[in-house]
Structure 1
Amino acid sequence: MKSNCRLLYKSNNTHLQTSLPVYFYGLPDGNIYLIYARFYEINFNKSGLEFVFAVLENYYYDFETEKVVALKSMDKNLSSFRKEVESKEPQLRIVKSYRNIKSFVEAQRFLGKKADEMVNILL
């Protein structure tokens, strides 16, 4: 079965407030989703890890042609997209953060299920 969630890029060097990797995924709805983890404080000297799902505001993803498109300019190739998201803080909209997800693999599976649901709604 073909995946409806395409990994575009994994970065260890973004301007987001996390030292952990950031994953960029293209979905059939045209949005580019980010998944990243960040620490939060539970109480004094105790922290937890939450996974944040966000949508990149400046770009969209053409799922059919597999191209990243900047909203203010021409088509971008993936290498120039990578340089741009690492060189400045990306404009994004946080969709939701989850504290019950335990790993990036689990977060990717969750996003994959959401992508499958989107495709089923569109059909």
Structure 2
Amino acid sequence: MWKDFFYFTRSERRGIMVLIALIVIVITVGFLFSEYQKKKEIADTAFSQKEYDDFPVSLHEKKPKPISRSLKEQKEIVLTPFDPNTTDSVTFLRMGLSSRLVNNIFRYRAKGGVCCIWIKRS
């Protein structure tokens, strides 16, 4: 009776041996990986402690001020109501728009573009 339950063919025995080998490999890799993680944690802890100790010193270091973007000469801008469909380039330039933007507006108009925000709706 016992022989019926525990008798395996040659291919079944090979399969069992492969499974046992795979289990041993997985357990070994898991053990080695956990040891590697412990060593890495110790190194990370030492580095973190050094950063923590150096932080108060870095607060008192003089840092260079960022370069200000406001060094460019600012044009005086006059706010006036206008219709972008009929306004000329001089008015746009007086309002502070760049010449490139004014050219884009005129090209838009030349291709049939209309700014419909200013058109009254009935």
Would the TM-score normalized by the shorter structure come out above 0.5?
Answer: no
Higher relative contact order (CA 8 A, sep 6+): 1
Q: What TM-score do the two structures reach when normalised by structure 2? A: 0.20
Q: What TM-score do the two structures reach when normalised by structure 1? A: 0.20
As a proportion of its length, which structure holds more strand?
1
As a proportion of its length, which structure holds more helix?
2
Structure showing greater radius of gyration is 2
